[in-house]
Structure 1
Amino acid sequence: MNSIARHAGIPHPYGAEEADRQPAPAFSSTEDDAGIPLHPSAKRLFDRAPVLRRIPIFGEASEAYGPACVISLALSYLLCKGLSGGFIGGSVFPIFVNVYKVEAARYQRLSGVMDLAWTIKAFTALICDTFALFGYTKRWYMFLSCVVCGVFSLLYGLLPANPSSGDIAAGFVFLSNYGMATVDILSEGFYSRLIRKIPESGPSLVSWVWWFISFGGTLGTMIMGPLADLDMPQVGVFITVGLQFFASLIYLFNLYGEKMNREERIEDARIMHKELLRELEKERALSRKEGKEGSLDVDQGKALQLEPIGNGETMALTDDLPLNLTHTNQEQAQKPMEHTGGYQDEASPELLLPQPIICCCGLAEINNEVVMRNKRVVAYCLVITVAVITMAFGNVYADTLGLLIICVVVSLVCSVMSFWALPYVIARVNVFNYFSSAVYIGLPGIGKFYIAGPDCVPGGPNFSLTFVYTICTVISTVSSLTGILVFNYFFSKTNYRKIMIVTTIVLLPFVLPEIIMLKRWNIQVGIPDHFFYIGTSTIISPLISMVSWMPTVILLSRVCPRGSESMVYAVLASFGNLGDTTSTSIGAILMEYVWPIKSNPPCDFSNAVKLVIVCEILSPLLIIPLTLLLPNVRVCDEIDVDGKMASKKTQEEPHVKPGKDSNEVH
């Protein structure tokens, strides 16, 4: 008897390898109250320590995905993105402004360059999914990324304290961030596969991951405050080196439990096969109901077989066949199974999948079907990557006019290409996310006004970095979490366009306190700087920003096409992040060409008020007409391919069409 079939309850969907570890006798806890299969290692852990099952989030996630996987994900995100991101991000301002003495306009440019690392995650995902390194699509890439992050963090911390170090340091921070971004996107891809197998526990796993990201990032930033006030911001950078070393051990020993590339290809094909059979059955039932027997939209022969790509080599996809079978010896291997009942789908005795191409003496495998099935998305991903490189070099080397031309060309080319590469409704959302980020022009260059001493800003706020990084970070984190609750209670059934318009209009008046502080009017009426800053910039703004951010995340998840969710979502997120860099680049252009700022003694922040009015009050008003790009539906509505509310009939009826063009995204 098959090793899975002998167990009582629901077999765990990770296959026979994990299921064999379950004890042979039937036990009642193989399935939880919600009908979710219990992971074998979770059962062993909870039998020995039942109290662990009652830990919020952890218990539910471990039941489905196993405690080893859940704990390794938590450690990975805590060490690599949470704490490391907090230390590196928190070190940038004090090192560049206080140690290197970089001028405001230059710092404005370099801050955009450092953030670009998070914009090329889509390209990274494409490369890693296409080229399996040492048999894995994620494991060794994440290991190398931790090494890269640690090495360049060390070099960043060792740079001499002079203005000439600014450009080099920006490159080192970019590469350090790129290492963290690579681990982030590949980890997202890993747990996305888990969630597709057991979607019921997906929210718990995502919440678990984001809790550690938030906790680690907040803790790292809080620690950087006192270190910066002690003139030791490099200490946080050196701590990052150690954190990356420990994080690399997770991937060195494969604590994620990632399967090898060939196993995952077979697993993907089995899932696709089952989904196609399910759709065919639904179509047959619909045809019988409507009296159209035999008139299917999907050709059955094509549904049960994937066309070979490249040299025509194929791989067998039956549960008990070896991984390296070709079409010739596959038929012989299948004969025994035909008599043992190994096939449960009568229409699918075999399923063919393009075999990965082995190159470099077996060091790498090429999954060319990843590119072949998403040609236009891949081309668009490459365009965004070229745009990122252009923006990076433009911010470092171009003059003011050259940077302006680059911003305009990048915006136009990437926006137009979006409508060529993506379905119409997705392209509109993509363009909205980019321009909504770009028109809210960031001004990190004027941040020194708040921490500068009397030699730079006489009578200024003179905040300590402990106050800005430690106290304000805690308050803003709580405020952001409150924003999530506000969204869930008051805006979860509101129109997308209305949410963006309301949050934009409500947020603009809370920019006025920044103008009041720049003009020092709050002191004239007797309101202390610390109290005034906390009450406005630290509490209200993060809350409203979170309410504005939540619907965009939900909308992206709603419009991503089934079967290409990860790649399309990564592309959309990358283009949105590129909008943030465009925003800071426009701010640098205004500082250099229209209203200059001088942040080193003798300082001059007289134009800061004009910059704030234009960049943070007038420019964001452009978001209001941009909302026409969003679907005119509510957050709680299902959306069809045209961006309209899907009717109940549409949701119930299967929608199966033959693939006419490999360039289309379905």
Structure 2
Amino acid sequence: MPWAMKPWLGVISDSFPIFGYHKLPYMMIVSILGLGGTILAVSLNLVESNAPIAAVGLFLANLQLMGYDLLAEAVYSRRLASVPESGPALVSYVWAGNQLLGLFATLLVGFVVEYADGVWGLGGAQWAVLTTIFTSSTVIVPAWLNFFEESRATKEQARAHLGVTAVGYSILNLAAQSNTVSFVTAILTVILLTGSAFAVMKPVIGKLMLFNAISQVTIISIGGPSIYFFTNDEQQYPAGPHFSDIFYGSVLGTVGQLCSVLAIFAFGKFMKGWKYRTVYFTMTLMLVIMQLGDPIIFSRLNVRIGIPDHVFAVGSSALVAAVSMIQFMPGFLILSHLCPKNMEATMFALLASLSNYSQNVTPPIAGYISQLLGVTPRGLPGVDESQTFDNLWIVSMILIGLSTTSLFFLWLIPNARMNERIMSDGDDTSATAGSLLDKWLQRKRLLTGDDKSATNDKATESVVQDTDDLIA
């Protein structure tokens, strides 16, 4: 839910500066809330009655992640607009740092979950969350010291931001709060969100939001069933891979992070002059090919042809992670280019939150398809679940097929190169100019004006006629 709330924070931070600053105070606020939420979550006993309180704590912790993610994006979105030719390099730099630090966390999590379980009465998952307190607190330092080099807004600039909003923001956010675990509701809410966005945003932005929603909602992970497939023990799934927490959580994750870092450098070095459509098309096809490793391992075909599960999983994870990262980065870059001046946080929040929300509704879709095919493992100790994995490879093939849907909608994104500006000077000050709603309102005003003019003409003619009658 915090990630679906991005537009609220974006609008508030852009519209209401604190002590003249639009971003730094809000970073401090979400940091304090996040620290409090993390401490609350790890201090609870692991009993079902504490689940609602733990959910509140994790909500606040994710609120901090969302806040820093959004406000940092707004900062370098503004920088990127002034030097578009350096856009691919800037995005590569940002995400290289993100992946390198994520690599450290991935290396740590498997060992913490497996070996810290029971220490001082805390579970392994609690210890994993507890380790984030250090990083959650250290990010306060760069915000306090203004590493973002944010300048203080003048009174005139602050007043100007009070009018920053766009028709449909509230509709989008209210609709996003209706997310359920229902397949039908997931589809309907995405349609409502994208339809509203397309209607109120200028065509180039509306088309991008529609494409992002389509691409995100059709790239679906199997999720829970695959976790049980890989980690169930000999009793639960005799023919399974039986991966340990360390291998599944740390080794596979580390391989994926390393390959993502290499992919980021390759993107910045060799692909910065490519067109957005070319990158999407090439990487989507490659991702489909790489993901074919999933149905192979789910059907146990790799074992029958003599390839061990551990070797096959490492190779598949590496390739999929690399291609997925390259596929993701153009979308992130194009979002930065389309943010109008002086409302970067608001627009980035709206664009990114719709993308995030579209991605968040994929679990109900995967769950619905899995349930139809009887793939419903639960990981119960001592219970043989082998039959529940019989159709897992079919579920994987269906989801891979769905991921090609976005290829038919590439025409929705600008046919521009990644190191070029998309919006010209003077065209980057409004988010709604030329939208369907804007055209409808203009037409309505025009018709209203014509009606008034016609009424005035009739009144004038009547007066002239009355005057002529009197003279006669």
TM-score range, shorter chain: 0.7 to 0.9
Q: Hey, what does 1:444 align to over in structure 2?
A: 223
Q: Does 1:387 align with 2:387?
A: no
How far is 1:223 from its partner?
Answer: 0.7
- Please give the secondary structure, in 1, of the residue aligned with 2:17: strand
Give 1:334-373 correspondences, 5 Å limit: 353=156, 367=158, 369-372=160-163
Q: Hey, what does 1:624 align to over in structure 2?
A: 407
> CA–CA distance in 1 between the matches of 2:231 and 2:53?
25
Q: Does 1:238 align with 2:130?
A: yes
Q: Hey, what does 2:183 align to over in structure 1?
A: 404
Q: Hey, what does 1:606 align to over in structure 2?
A: 390
Relative distance call for 1:222 and 1:181 in structure 2 (3 A) is: same
How far is 1:588 from its partner?
Answer: 2.5
Q: Is the contact made by 1:483 and 1:546 (CA closer than 8 Å) also made in structure 2?
A: yes
Q: Hey, what does 2:113 align to over in structure 1?
A: 228
> CA–CA distance in 1 between the matches of 2:7 and 2:199?
17
Q: Is the contact made by 1:375 and 1:662 (CA closer than 8 Å) also made in structure 2?
A: no
Runs of at least 5 residues in structure 1 that lack an aligned partner in the other structure: 1-115, 267-314, 316-352, 355-366, 396-402, 642-653
> CA–CA distance in 2 between the matches of 1:436 and 1:135?
39
How far is 1:169 from its partner?
Answer: 4.2
How far is 1:413 from its partner?
Answer: 1.8
- Please give the secondary structure, in 1, of the residue aligned with 2:237: coil
Q: Does 1:256 align with 2:146?
A: yes
Task: Write out per-residue CA displacement over residues 266-297 of structure 1, whole angstroms, 9 at most, x where no aligned residue.
Answer: 2xxxxxxxxxxxxxxxxxxxxxxxxxxxxxxx
- Please give the secondary structure, in 1, of the residue aligned with 2:330: helix
Q: Is the contact made by 1:492 and 1:635 (CA closer than 8 Å) also made in structure 2?
A: yes
Give 1:57-72 correspondences, 5 Å limit: none
Q: Is the contact made by 2:92 and 2:264 (CA closer than 8 Å) also made in structure 1?
A: no
Give 1:527-606 correspondences, 5 Å limit: 527-536=307-316, 538-592=317-371, 595-601=374-380, 602=383, 603=385, 604-606=388-390
Give the one of 496, 506, 510 matched to 2:290. Answer: 510
Output the amino acid matched with 1:510.
M
How far is 1:611 from its partner?
Answer: 1.7
How far is 1:208 from its partner?
Answer: 6.0
TM-score under structure 1 length normalisation: 0.57
- Please give the secondary structure, in 2, of the residue aligned with 1:442: coil
Q: Hey, what does 1:76 align to over in structure 2?
A: none
Q: Hey, what does 1:10 align to over in structure 2?
A: none
Task: Write out per-residue CA displacement over residues 323-359 of structure 1, whole angstroms, 9 at most, x where no aligned residue.
Answer: xxxxxxxxxxxxxxxxxxxxxxxxxxxxxx37xxxxx
Q: Hey, what does 1:362 align to over in structure 2?
A: none
Q: Is the contact made by 2:34 and 2:61 (CA closer than 8 Å) also made in structure 1?
A: yes
> CA–CA distance in 1 between the matches of 2:84 and 2:234?
57
Q: Hey, what does 2:466 align to over in structure 1?
A: none
Task: Write out per-residue CA displacement over residues 17-68 of structure 1, whole angstroms, 9 at most, x where no aligned residue.
Answer: xxxxxxxxxxxxxxxxxxxxxxxxxxxxxxxxxxxxxxxxxxxxxxxxxxxx
Q: Is the contact made by 1:595 and 1:607 (CA closer than 8 Å) also made in structure 2?
A: yes
Q: Is the contact made by 1:375 and 1:663 (CA closer than 8 Å) also made in structure 2?
A: no
Output the amino acid matched with 1:382.
S
How far is 1:249 from its partner?
Answer: 5.2
How far is 1:468 from its partner?
Answer: 2.5
> CA–CA distance in 2 between the matches of 1:550 and 1:195?
14
Give 1:319-330 correspondences, 5 Å limit: none
Q: Hey, what does 2:5 align to over in structure 1?
A: 120
Relative distance call for 1:405 and 1:522 in structure 2 (3 A) is: closer
Task: Write out per-residue CA displacement over residues 362-383 of structure 1, whole angstroms, 9 at most, x where no aligned residue.
Answer: xxxxx453242x332xx43333
Q: How many residues align?
A: 422
Q: Is the contact made by 2:370 and 2:392 (CA closer than 8 Å) also made in structure 1?
A: no
Q: Is the contact made by 1:597 and 1:606 (CA closer than 8 Å) also made in structure 2?
A: no
How far is 1:244 from its partner?
Answer: 2.8
> CA–CA distance in 2 between the matches of 1:187 and 1:665?
29
Give the one of 175, 182, 188 matched to 2:67. Answer: 182
> CA–CA distance in 2 between the matches of 1:518 and 1:222?
25
Q: Is the contact made by 1:456 and 1:599 (CA closer than 8 Å) also made in structure 2?
A: no
How far is 1:595 from its partner?
Answer: 3.5
Q: Hey, what does 1:130 align to over in structure 2?
A: 15
Q: Does 1:265 align with 2:153?
A: yes
> CA–CA distance in 2 between the matches of 1:163 and 1:612?
33
Q: Which has the higher mean CA deviation after the structures are superposed, 177-186 or 433-442? A: 177-186
Runs of at least 5 residues in structure 2 that lack an aligned partner in the other structure: 118-123, 436-472
Q: Is the contact made by 1:595 and 1:611 (CA closer than 8 Å) also made in structure 2?
A: no
Q: Is the contact made by 1:148 and 1:175 (CA closer than 8 Å) also made in structure 2?
A: yes
Relative distance call for 1:404 and 1:191 in structure 2 (3 A) is: closer
> CA–CA distance in 2 between the matches of 1:257 and 1:505?
40
Q: Is the contact made by 1:599 and 1:605 (CA closer than 8 Å) also made in structure 2?
A: no
Q: Does 1:477 align with 2:268?
A: no
Relative distance call for 1:137 and 1:553 in structure 2 (3 A) is: closer
- Please give the secondary structure, in 2, of the residue aligned with 1:132: coil
Output the amino acid matched with 1:244.
S
How far is 1:163 from its partner?
Answer: 6.1
How far is 1:200 from its partner?
Answer: 10
Relative distance call for 1:535 and 1:163 in structure 2 (3 A) is: farther
> CA–CA distance in 2 between the matches of 1:663 and 1:492?
29
> CA–CA distance in 2 between the matches of 1:229 and 1:576?
34
> CA–CA distance in 2 between the matches of 1:592 and 1:636?
45
TM-score under structure 2 length normalisation: 0.78
With a CA cutoff of 8 Å and minimum separation of 6, indicate the structure with the bigger relative contact order: 2
Relative distance call for 1:138 and 1:435 in structure 2 (3 A) is: same
Output the amino acid matched with 1:265.
A
Q: Hey, what does 1:375 align to over in structure 2?
A: 165
> CA–CA distance in 1 between the matches of 2:21 and 2:216?
35
CA RMSD of aligned residues (A): 3.4
Output the amino acid matched with 2:192.
V
> CA–CA distance in 2 between the matches of 1:155 and 1:474?
29
